[in-house]
Chains A and B, each alone.
Chain A
Amino acid sequence: MTANPSAPAVNRYFGAPVTRNEDPALLTGQALFVDDLVLTEMWHAALLRSPHAHARIESIDVTAARARDGVIAVYTAEDLGDFWQSVPLVVPPPPIPDLVFNKHTQVPLAKDKVRYAGEPVVLVVAESRYVAEDALDDIVVDYATLPVAADLERAAADGAPEVHDGLAGNVAALAHQAKGDYAAAAAEAATVIRRRFTYDHGMAQPMETRGVAAQFDRKTRRLTVWATTQAPASLRGGLAALLGLGERDVRVVAPFVGGGFGSKLLMYYPEELLMPWAALQLGSAVKWIEDRGEHFLATTQARGQIHDAEMALDRDGRILGIKDVFLHDNGAYNPYGLTVPINSQCSILGTYDVPAYDSTFTAVFTNKPIVAPYRGAGRQHGVFVIERLMDIAARELGLDRAEIRRRNLIAADAFPVKHEIIFQDFTALTYDSGNYQPILERALELIGYEKFVAEEQPALRAAGRRVGVGIVNYIEGTGIGPYEGARVQIQANGRVAVATGIGTQGQGHFTSFAQIAADWLGVGVRDVDVTTGDTDQFYWGAGTFASRGAVVAGNAVNHAAAAVHEKAVALAAEHFGCEVAEVVLEDGAARRAGAPGEEIGLGELASLANPMRGAVKPGTEPGLEATRYFGPESGTTASGAHAMIVEVDPETMMIEIKKYVVVHDCGTVINPLLVEGQIHGGVAQGIGNAFYEQLVFDDDAQLLNATLADYLIPTSLDVPRMQLDHTVTPSAHNELGIKGVGEAGALPVGPLFAQALEDALELPARGVDILEIPLSPNRLWELATDASDGAPEGG
């Protein structure tokens, strides 16, 4: 780090395994979450949601609800007046040539027609949540049900029910991107493999569900909104515009948030609009906390794609080209534009040298809840397709799974790798840096691949044990723009305040950003107070998503802390009457090097910078404070490999993960403890996605397992100990050399499970490939039964 000219002289904390600044408050129950708020004249809201996935609203009678004791107000779409509108796109589509894009974004309350079961229809505000819920029973809505577009393929077919009237085929987007000449590649290939891959719906289950509390202060005429949002600054700007208020009259606070994973990103969730609007109408405070049952319908879901993919290879197993045509289930609205499917499109190239690529996707509206980014945000599907293709190609060519990967990895001297397709950040997909061979080799070494395949597996199989191994690679595009900012200030009490516009949902920002600032200013990491997600504390920002918080906001903190360092040193030099180069900041004070006793505490120095008399010189600013912004020109590409040895009980198809290895490269590491935590959590969610979690819809698009008793998330017993290692290839796109790691752990678990489980059950030898995620014991049983054309073999 000292080699970096923009780094502080001494790195005491940066790169060290510092325990978290935020943990004492969280572990002792002192941290503020939205539901902890108790405000004056605070009413409570409940929403009547559609029981139908697709229906016309014939009439709504709220008379009885309004008459109920304790009910403050009842609102339908009609009551919203001019506020009712189809909300702006969160992310407009990137400039892909010949792109077809049909915008249909959500509305605060359904009017005329409902498009998914769970869509809000009526808002009730009451003295308590109990009364509000009871009042929902008083409301009579007459629906005329319509044919339902439930199944993805059928929704895309001619004559399917139209989710949005007049939009035949339910096409939300149609995008074609290509590089090289796939047709030529296929023509000269020794073999072309083709498969259909499916990736079914799942969703994030944060410990804290969503919540919004809004308060309109009639005296200051200001609106304050506490929300579990991942993008407070963006929500503030949007709310001000939609409510006709000045941006400075709206404050959005995202306090402690119990997990986001993308599901709390959606700007303009109906509830995020309705509570502030109702608070304005009522001149009071209104709170809504999502219950778990609502979460299954009202919070965005994930995944749902069908890929028809093919890979052309030469006889040595080198990839000549990949062609992929896929359907993406958008749900009923598409506020995120192309974000999820374009991530899938851009993840299929993986860590491999793919000369020709031809990809077309159709995003399809269905009568299901909105599909939006969830930890991986479409990347999982791409990793699944490419890694499964590699496994199948290896089998067809008689190659080892590790060897075919080895032969196709992008060479270390090939970076930056420029693909000719456009990524979600509107720039041409570029891998800025990477070194993939050592990652794969290290993962193979740690899992003991050679020995397992050659010795252990045959011996165990001979003893009747069903054991398998998997090895997969992945890349993760992280740290995209447009920008984030940070303000760093030395306060008169000697403590350092850092504020940034992103929200935080458990990533450890209170620690990682403190580490960056502490080293610059010579203070202890516990003496740095970080504020995230309060738009009165830091005005500008985009949000926490796409594994970008540490990369983009972290570098802004670095710039701002460096600027404060410069100011502090200059003022101290003036104070000491010495050269700037003689001043060091250490132990919370400015000292003149080589002059014992000549020192001034940083708090005192901060007071000197804010004098009551005299004059602050023209061209300077009071205080020891600086605000800086960082906007990377494009994202930075992290990568890694996961390997696993798994045993399957052939009677129950329950699994036991014997060994799990992660080797990853997220560039320079700020805090290895936080990185490990991100990987652990990501793998846990990946395991849920791969083997436990599946949202099951019936033909009427009714969700049939909307409880945590039926939608299984992995418990601590299902998540194995992991052996972690990392390599460091610093990013060339930012001064700190860091890459994002937020989503990495979750990305490759699906194809890893597919590969290891089919290996354990020896399915390929019996003519069965695993071509789908999620799996489950039931599904494994069916696949094994198919393979043996009868009952699966006993153990």
Chain B
Amino acid sequence: MELNGEQRIAAPRQKVWDALNDPRVLKACIPGCESLTQDGDSAFDAIVQAKVGPVRAKFTGRVELTDIRPPESYRISGEGKAGPAGVAKGSADVSLVEDGDGTVLNYVVKADVGGKLAQIGSRLVQSTANKYAADFFARFGDIVTSAVPIEAPAEAPTPAGAVATRAVTPVAQPAAADDANTAHLRRLNWALLAIIVVLIGFILAAH
């Protein structure tokens, strides 16, 4: 199963790239992300709650990043387990392309789902995936274009464990790259994006 998609974001590529590397942004945009921990240099474990029709799935996801080319593209491959709700695995190539004063985010997902997620039927899954994707990009777009303040972790995002905490406080300022934006953390942020893209991809491609 293969799925292609693109989303235009009304912000310059570097700004989109930076925002995608800001855990506070991603935290605010990804529906149901409960935790994220690093395991090794380029692998991350995440827990994301998703609801697809009657199936409530708590994904324990693991993603690995390769071919990271800031601010242009990377490849992710991942695997998520959701207990009785099913499993998902796949990979995605994601790229950012400059488009006038905006940026187009392209993704090509190859994915397979198993268990209840596969079985409940493509129509439910499709509409749910559409909603998840729309929600993510709407919030992401709003934040990147500074239309709304974001919610962010209370403490400065440094180690991976801090990102996984659920404590959030509103901040007045839009996210900006800061000195915490280490390579280590950048991967972490990419992992968050990877998870949501893969999830959306899995769901979209489930039929």
Contacts and interface: CB of A to CB of B under 8 A. Distances in A.
Interface of B: 1, 58, 83-84, 86-87, 112-116, 118-124, 206-207
B120 A136 contact: no
Nearest to B115: A51
6 contacts: A52-B87, A136-B83, A700-B112, A703-B118, A704-B118, A710-B121
Given A51-B114, A53-B114, A698-B118, A704 B83 contact: no
Given A49-B84, A52-B87, A117 B114 contact: yes
Contacts of A710: 121-123
Sorted nearest first, the 6 A-B pairs with minimum C-beta distance are: A51-B115, A706-B119, A710-B121, A702-B118, A51-B114, A136-B84
A186 B115 CA distance: 49
Interface string A99-140: 000000000000000000100000000000000010011011
Nearest to B206: A704
Nearest to A705: B121
A707 B118 contact: no
A133 B55 CA distance: 13
B116 A293 contact: yes
Contact of B119 (A48, A52, A139, A704): A704
A602 B87 CA distance: 66
A61 B86 CA distance: 17
Interface residues of A, number: 26
Contact of A704 (B58, B84, B86, B122): B122
A293 B83 CA distance: 16
Contact of B114 (A52, A137, A293): A52
A709 interface: yes
A117 B86 CA distance: 10
A297 interface: yes
A114 to B, nearest CB: 11
Contact of A698 (B58, B112, B116, B121): B112
B121 A702 contact: no
A166 B29 CA distance: 50
A117 B114 CA distance: 8
B83 A702 contact: no
A702 B118 CA distance: 7
Contacts of B116: 51, 293
Given A117-B114, A700-B112, A700-B114, A137 B119 contact: no
Contact of B120 (A53, A133, A700, A707): A707
A53 B116 CA distance: 12
Nearest to A711: B121
Contact of B58 (A137, A297, A706, A709): A137
Given A136-B84, A137-B83, A704-B207, A296 B119 contact: yes
Interface string A337-376: 0000000000000000000000000000000000000000
B119 A297 contact: yes
Nearest to A48: B84
Contacts of A700: 112, 114
A140 to B, nearest CB: 8
A50 B83 CA distance: 9
A139 B58 CA distance: 13
B119 A709 contact: no
A48 B113 CA distance: 17
Nearest to A122: B84
A705 B118 CA distance: 8
Contacts of A50: 115
A194 B98 CA distance: 58
A709 B121 CA distance: 8
Contacts of B118: 117, 698, 702-704
A705 B115 CA distance: 11
Nearest to B60: A140
B128 to A, nearest CB: 14
A489 to B, nearest CB: 49
A779 B206 CA distance: 21
Contacts of A293: 116, 119-120
B78 to A, nearest CB: 14
Given A49-B84, A51-B86, A704 B121 contact: yes
B122 A702 contact: no
Given A707-B121, A709-B121, A702 B84 contact: no
B123 A709 contact: yes
Interface string A438-459: 0000000000000000000000
A297 B123 CA distance: 20
